[in-house]
A and B are shown apart, each in its own frame.
Chain A
Amino acid sequence: MQLGQTEKPIGGDLPVVEPGHTYRSVSEKISNIVLDIRTPLGWFVAFGSGSILLMMYLISIAYLFAYGVGVWGINIPVGWGFAIVTFVWWIGIGHAGTLISAILFLFRQDWRTSINRFAEAMTLFAVVCAGLYPILHLGRPWLFFWLLPYPNTFGLWPQFRSALAWDVFAVSTYGTISAVFWYTGLIPDLAGMRDRAKVPLLKMVYGMLALGWRGSSRHWHHHQALYLLLAAIATPLVVSVHTVVSFDFAIAQVPGWSTTVFPPYFVAGAIFSGFAMVVTLLVPIRKLYHIEDMITLRHFDVMGKILLTTGLVVFYGYVTEAFTGWYSGSIYELFLFMNRFTGHYAPFVYLLVFCNLVAPQLLWFRSVRTNMTLMFILSLIINTGMWLERFMIVIISLTADYLPSSWALFIATPWDWSLLIGSIGLFIVLLFLFVRTLPMISVFEMQELIHNTEHGH
């Protein structure tokens, strides 16, 4: 038997890695995706369509900058239109990446190994898409640095008692720590890319990015300690980000916002939509690059269970929200509840119920969880549902608050839609650039997984 070869499949009847992989085969297969094989046609299709949407995004931003936020459907009272709906949606999507890389690492879930790098990249790009939204939504986006505390000639400072100031710190910390965590994991693999690359220029670029990593035990000694600690500090961070985002709503007085269930309910929703996005992306990519032996049915089985669980937590959140609304006896809360189900936006709410509550029940069946087509469709349904949930929270509450004379409907304009769809383009472009240029599966962790299985550590 060749050394490093896996004898038995890891983890029951659905293996985490198909048997037959060695240290070398793992390293070669993953680096060859970037270095050797012809770029598959599907990559060009995805990257190309992403680029078109990205162009639309840039045009929308240019138009927005030229004419101001009035090009959107926002009005008084609905000042937070698609910008905040989509901000919350994107930032939620990012959560799955950190959950996979940090929390599942601490819980020693071996199946996280082959998807953590990819999911972390997804997190980073989702945070990019999310972070741009509140900035674009500022009336004068070029003054975004006023959000940060810095000495200035006005003698002004941020209001640290405001949830919006907390948000700035939460999101920027989240973005930075995700990037640091991602890069820490990448360094040893970049060194591997340096060693595998044959073109001198590529060797140099990967070599520079690897910072001269030599895999020395001294390096690993420090690296592994840091990796564990980063996982430990990212764990409370991932829970805190959406908690802080939910404070933007929860500490306000608008009916439907002012509720203590928001933080846990937002976090569960974030993980729900994040895992849905991981599934959406991994189904086509594993097929495109023939990595079904590393990202196996086991992964989808487990992710399906997580989707089902978090979906039920979100369901519980809806029920609690409705119950406390009713139990409060507040006519405004009761009206809000009726307005959701019978008002102008009722079709959206029913669609939301279908997407987030009814459709995910299919995940009780293992045959559904291991069926790639169904998982892909379900993941798209869930992501639509989660976007609608944020629409329900942000928009419906704002359209009709306490004083009927100040009510107004929100009607999205084409510029609202083009910016939303365009931000998906930005996400696709960044993600496919990542897949094309960096190892999308963590090589050293896969080798470690094979080593541990082989020796029963």
Chain B
Amino acid sequence: MSAAKSEGPLIFGLMAEFSDPDELVQKAHQAYEAGYRKMDAYTPFPVHGLPTALGFKWNWVPFIVGAAAIMGGIGGFLLQYWVSVIAYPVNIAGRPLNTWPAFMVVTFEMTILSAGVLGFLGMILLNKLPQPYHPVFNVPRFEMASSDKFFLCIMKSDPKFDMVKTRDFLEGLEPEGVYEVDQDDDNVYD
């Protein structure tokens, strides 16, 4: 539908294939130094130093987990306080209603529960998952990104992107192959 309106085939970007993770880190550095910003790398396992090389500095996950832990802990305690002091006070030989030491176990459990579950949801949302379709899957070689190949992709949305120059640049990195990444619709992906 909307794809028909635009002219020519839609391109997501250009992708280069490498065989060695450490080589990929070094090449990602070079691309960053050449001025490319809108790019991503795809690897079968986490490669140390790659996010830094691509210029990812900020990580929200620890903040989400921390905030969720604090919220869960406070919420867990308030729940018990409200139940035991306000909603359903039980007078046991005149003992205090706010028996906070006895509330610590559930407070602790709620802290952990909230941190884990919200942290997981945060990770999923920050990664924009679930996302069954993504243009990179159009590259046939991309299947190897979960096996033993390492890919660097410069996106068309990068201001410096140019079909010819960027291809030349990627070829200059001595990859095992450079592929055009087709896109089937005109949505914006990153």
Contact = CB atoms under 8 A, between A and B. Distances in A.
B87 A157 contact: yes
B40 A233 contact: no
B88 A233 contact: no
Main secondary structure of the interface of A (DSSP, over half): helix
Nearest to B19: A3
Contacts of A230: 116, 119-120
Interface in B97-125: 99, 102-103, 105-106, 108-110, 112-113, 115-117, 119-120, 122-124
Interface stretch (A208-216, A348-356, A399-407): A208-216
Contacts of A159: 90
A454 to B, nearest CB: 10
B39 to A, nearest CB: 9
A444 B127 contact: no
A158 interface: yes
Contacts of B105: 166, 169-170, 240, 244, 247
B56 A28 contact: no
A155 interface: yes
B50 interface: yes
> In this complex, which of B90, B115, B119 has the most chain A Cβ atoms within 10 angstroms of its Cβ?
B119
A408 interface: no
B169 interface: no
A170 B24 CA distance: 44
Contact of B136 (A158, A214, A244, A447): A214
Contacts of B40: 216-218
A21 B113 CA distance: 38
A229 B62 contact: yes
B35 interface: no
A322 interface: no
Contacts of B62: 225, 229
Contacts of A161: 84, 99, 102
A406 to B, nearest CB: 25
Interface stretch (A50-58, A173-181, A292-300, A383-391): A173-181
Contacts of B19: 3
Contacts of B109: 166, 169-170, 173, 240
A191 B146 contact: yes
Nearest to A251: B102
Given A28-B147, A159-B90, A451 B137 contact: no
A181 B143 CA distance: 26
Interface string A299-325: 000000000000000000000000000
B108 A240 contact: yes
A225 B51 CA distance: 12
Interface string A1-44: 00110000000000000000011100110000000000000000
A216 B44 CA distance: 9
A229 to B, nearest CB: 5
B65 A165 contact: no
A217 B133 contact: no
Contacts of B112: 173, 177, 233-234, 236-237
A215 B146 contact: yes
Contacts of B148: 3-4, 22-24, 27, 447
A215 B134 contact: no
A212 B62 CA distance: 23
A221 B80 contact: no
> In this complex, which of B59, B103, B123, B129 has the most chain A Cβ atoms within 10 angstroms of its Cβ?
B123
A218 B125 CA distance: 12
Contacts of B127: 213, 216, 218-219, 222-223
A195 B147 CA distance: 9
Contacts of A437: none
Contacts of B132: 207-208, 211-212
Given A217-B54, A221-B59, A229-B61, A27 B44 contact: yes
A229 B115 contact: yes
Given A27-B148, A149-B79, A447 B88 contact: no
A214 B45 contact: no
Contact of B48 (A191, A194, A457): A457
A23 B106 contact: no
A160 interface: yes
Contacts of B43: 215, 217, 220
Contacts of B115: 229, 233
Given A157-B88, A160-B80, A180 B120 contact: yes
Contacts of B20: 3
Contacts of B110: 169, 173
> In this complex, which of A188, A194, A221, A444 has the most chain B Cβ atoms within 10 angstroms of its Cβ?
A221
Contacts of B51: 217-218, 220-221
A444 B56 contact: no
B47 interface: yes
Contacts of B54: 217
A214 B65 CA distance: 23
A196 B143 CA distance: 8
B104 to A, nearest CB: 9
Interface in B52-96: 54, 56, 59-62, 65, 69, 79-80, 83-84, 87-88, 90
Interface string A416-457: 000000000000000000000000000111011001000101
Given A212-B129, A220-B43, A234-B116, 15 more contacts: A24-B147, A155-B87, A157-B88, A169-B106, A173-B109, A180-B117, A191-B146, A195-B143, A196-B146, A215-B145, A216-B42, A222-B59, A244-B105, A444-B46, A447-B148
11 contacts: A4-B148, A160-B84, A161-B84, A166-B105, A176-B113, A195-B144, A195-B147, A208-B132, A217-B47, A220-B45, A233-B115
